Chains A and B, each alone.
Chain A
Amino acid sequence: MAKLRLDKLKPLVALGVFLIAWWIVPPVIKSFLKISFTEFQAPSWVVSSYLEDLQGFWARRSHSKIELIEAGRELARKKAYYQYIAQRNESLEAEVDRLESILHMPTRREFRYEVARVVRRDLSAWWQQIIIRKGRDYNIPEGAAVIFSSGVVGRVVEVNAFTSRIELVTSPNFRMAATFETDGRPVIYQGVVQSGFGRATGSVNDAPQDIIANSQAPLKLVSTSLGGTFPPGLTIGSVSWLEPGSTGIFQAGEVTLDERLLSLHEVSVLIPLNPLEPNNDVP
């Protein structure tokens, strides 16, 4: 009987021992354990992502030649248009550089674009993150900005050997400096807990009192260079209404984000060519 009672206590004793051990074990060991398990699991996600690519490849191979010729023609048309845009962009950039040098303005931060496939999306009430197929193997730095064709996606929060984890702009843990497109004054954008059913939203705070937004002409919220992470002018979302904030001095409102944020397949990581030096550079 006594033996049985001791047997019954075993799991509780084990739980207690684990708790104490977890308390006293140095963070280095915990970190090592986490990294080991994560790196061990990463190949399965990378492989499934490549398999998805292969699936797409075979799906495209099943298209008829006529469909492919039409798609090629459409692509050629778009390429010609983008070549024209690129030329115009080059000349405008040269003009901006010339004006900046005349005005002795400080140099802007330059970025390298690293395009990466999305391996996994974890979007729930508790976390809003995605995992991409590039990590330390492509020199992805922690804290780098991530964008897609319609604007800001989020920020890199964890870099592993072959994958990186990105905190989405919808996450309540995400916060950045922003500005309205028609107004240069800075405001604060922050993600909120998502209400679900495919609608992505955020919130804007500290908007000046004189800014008016309405659903007929929503205000476009864009990134600013103030934070140092994002280049200026990238779309975050649109604001249809603003109301007095909790302080009464500034306004706050809801930001409607692009719905495609919830089903991303490809993103670009902005890697700064000249990273900020915390001791020398003022953010």
Chain B
Amino acid sequence: MFLDPRILIMFGANALLLYLSLLVNSALSSWSLYLVLLGPMLVLPAIFLRHRSYLLCILLTGLWVDAELPCQFGLLTLGFLTAGACIFQIRFRFRAEHNYHPIILSHSCNLFCIALISIATGFEYLSVSSFWIQILITTVLSHGLLTIVAPWFFDLQRLLFELCRLETEPEDFPIL
């Protein structure tokens, strides 16, 4: 098949995760708390899909996130492609059938996204202490929640693959 049909499920799940995280952020605004849960979005596409499908899924997800968040348009698309390329390069090393490796990858990607947004959006405030306090709170809270959200998110995607009778294993299974 020219394109893997799983990209629809992965993109849909990514859009759902973003929508839910923004709903929670809206509710948490009175405590000045914010969550960044972008890391899990690019892990399974980079591990599961062939390059053409992976690229389309990541590109669509990146543009979707860029349109939702008030940062410079294209920033997170570029960030997703960069992080995705790094994972794609070494994807043979990861065990995709369990959640352990994807969770670690999602934490790394999330940290990368937080760093990218901080540098691109708040470069002029890097010397302001309250900026760093806010970033620290956001990072701790996001990664704390990610330990619960990431396994649920990956299991949800696998469940949807099963329900739609699609392949539940990566295209290029790692050589053991």
Contact = CB atoms under 8 A, between A and B. Distances in A.
A pairs with B: yes
B26 interface: yes
Contacts, number: 121
B85 A126 contact: no
B63 A37 contact: yes
A254 to B, nearest CB: 12
Given A195-B134, A263-B30, A14 B55 contact: yes
B155 interface: no
Contact of A194 (B54, B64, B82, B130): B130
A262 interface: yes
Interface residues of B, number: 46
B51 A196 contact: no
A193 B134 contact: yes
A157 B81 CA distance: 29
A192 B125 CA distance: 9
Interface in A11-40: 11-12, 14-15, 18-19, 22, 30, 33-34, 37-38, 40
B134 A129 contact: no
B51 A11 contact: yes
Q: Is the interface of B mostly helix, strand, loop or mixed?
A: helix
B85 A12 contact: yes
Nearest to A125: B134
B149 interface: no
B128 interface: yes
A129 B22 CA distance: 12
B2 interface: no
Contacts of A126: 71, 117-118, 121-122
A198 interface: yes
Contact of B134 (A33, A121, A196): A196
B73 A33 contact: yes
9 contacts: A15-B82, A30-B73, A122-B22, A125-B34, A192-B130, A193-B130, A194-B32, A196-B32, A262-B31
Given A11-B81, A197-B32, 11 more contacts: A11-B51, A11-B55, A22-B74, A34-B73, A37-B66, A38-B68, A40-B67, A41-B68, A125-B34, A125-B122, A125-B138
Interface of B: 19, 22-23, 25-26, 29-34, 51, 54-55, 59, 63-64, 66-71, 73-74, 77-78, 81-82, 84-85, 88-89, 117-118, 121-122, 125, 128, 130-131, 133-135, 137-138
